Amino acid sequence: MAEVKHYPVIIVGSGPAGLTAAIYAARADLNPLILEGNQPGGQLTITTDVENFPGFPEGIMGPQLMDDMRKQANRFGAESKFEYVNEVDFSKRPFFIKSDSGEYTADAVIIATGASARLLGLESEKKYMGYGVSACATCDGFFYKDKNVIVVGGGDSAMEEATFLTKFAKKVIIVHRREGFRASKIMIEKAQNNEKIEFMLNKTIKEIKGDKTVNAVVLEDTRNGETMEIPIDGVFMAIGHTPNTQVFGDQIETDESGYIITKAGSTRTSIEGVFACGDVQDKIYRQAITAAGSGCMAALDAEKYLEMNE
């Protein structure tokens, strides 16, 4: 039978939240194991320049930032395994975690599995991710000074991101698949009253075109299937996020959208000894720096919990 290895702390996920938790837990001599998941480094590995993470006046590439965070965690003794967690049992102590290639137990678990931006599922969207396609206006808007961009979606995020992008872009087109919006009235009105924003309703993106970066999209009318091609410099997806909590099933308390609920002012979850940080418990801020901050909190909360339960 395979050996079940025990760790004081296991961190599930390896974005800024998980890796910051690892740095702090390692420096507290807790020898944490990081189970990095399918996308080591998390969402930042699909962006290019990160210009809003403090400490990098010239900006830094997303993948580089995440590699550096991992190196920093490993330097203090955190162990990285590039494994995907597919089963947990939080009903007994120590907690049990099974990945695609190992079985583990832990006295404390830090969940930092993040959220995934929903995407349209086009091949061309994958191809141009970070090169004209983005799922984060706050991160990438700055690169579209005086350019024309599309925001896809009809919810609050789409309205907010479109309004934000008008600070930089010459024109922002909101492309939405139907006539009605999911967004709140006030957000729709704000977008409608912005002279830089245009709406193209009953449309979806059929294809994204470009050479090195995006230069056009093919739109399809959702009512009659007619297509048209328009030139564009960037496409921002704002069709929602999905928190990566499926593997925890109903073992941990989540809100109606699946985000883990943490106790106010802490990273404590409904299970004592299990902590959550980063986008998996935050649908509002979703920034690398806020994720990192909550990762630090999670490690400190876990350290305190372990001390009290020694």
- The residues of the shown chain that bind ligand NAP, judged by CB under 6 A, are 118, 120, 152-158, 160, 177-178, 182, 204, 238-240, 283
Choose between 108 and 150: whose C-beta lies nearer to ligand NAP: 150
Give the nearest distance from C-beta 76 to ligand NAP in angstroms.
36
Choose between 88 and 152: whose C-beta lies nearer to ligand NAP: 152
Give the closest residue to 299 by CA, choosing from 15, 26, 3, 6. 26
CA distance 21 to 263: 18
Spot the catalytic one: 49, 140, 279, 282.
140
Residue 227 and residue 200 in contact, taking contact as beta carbons nearer than 8 Å: no
Give the nearest distance from C-beta 154 to ligand NAP in angstroms.
3
Choose between 80 and 163: whose C-beta lies nearer to ligand NAP: 163
Give the nearest distance from C-beta 181 to ligand NAP in angstroms.
6
- Asked about 136 being catalytic, the answer comes back as yes
Give the nearest distance from C-beta 259 to ligand NAP in angstroms.
10
Beta bridge partners of 175: 152, 200
CB burial of 257-279 (b: ≥16 within 10 Å; e: otherwise) equals ebbbebeeeebbbebebbbbbbb
Q: For ligand NAP, which residue has the nearest CB? A: 155
Torsion angle of the four alpha carbons 147, 43, 123, 259, in this order, in degrees rounded to the nearest 10: -110
Spot the catalytic one: 68, 89, 107, 136.
136
Choose between 100 and 189: whose C-beta lies nearer to ligand NAP: 189
Choose between 105 and 138: whose C-beta lies nearer to ligand NAP: 138
Choose between 74 and 116: whose C-beta lies nearer to ligand NAP: 116
- Asked about 156 being catalytic, the answer comes back as no
- Asked about 301 being catalytic, the answer comes back as no
CA distance 217 to 282: 32
Give the nearest distance from C-beta 72 to ligand NAP in angstroms.
32
Give the nearest distance from C-beta 263 to ligand NAP in angstroms.
21
Residues catalogued as catalytic: 136, 139-140
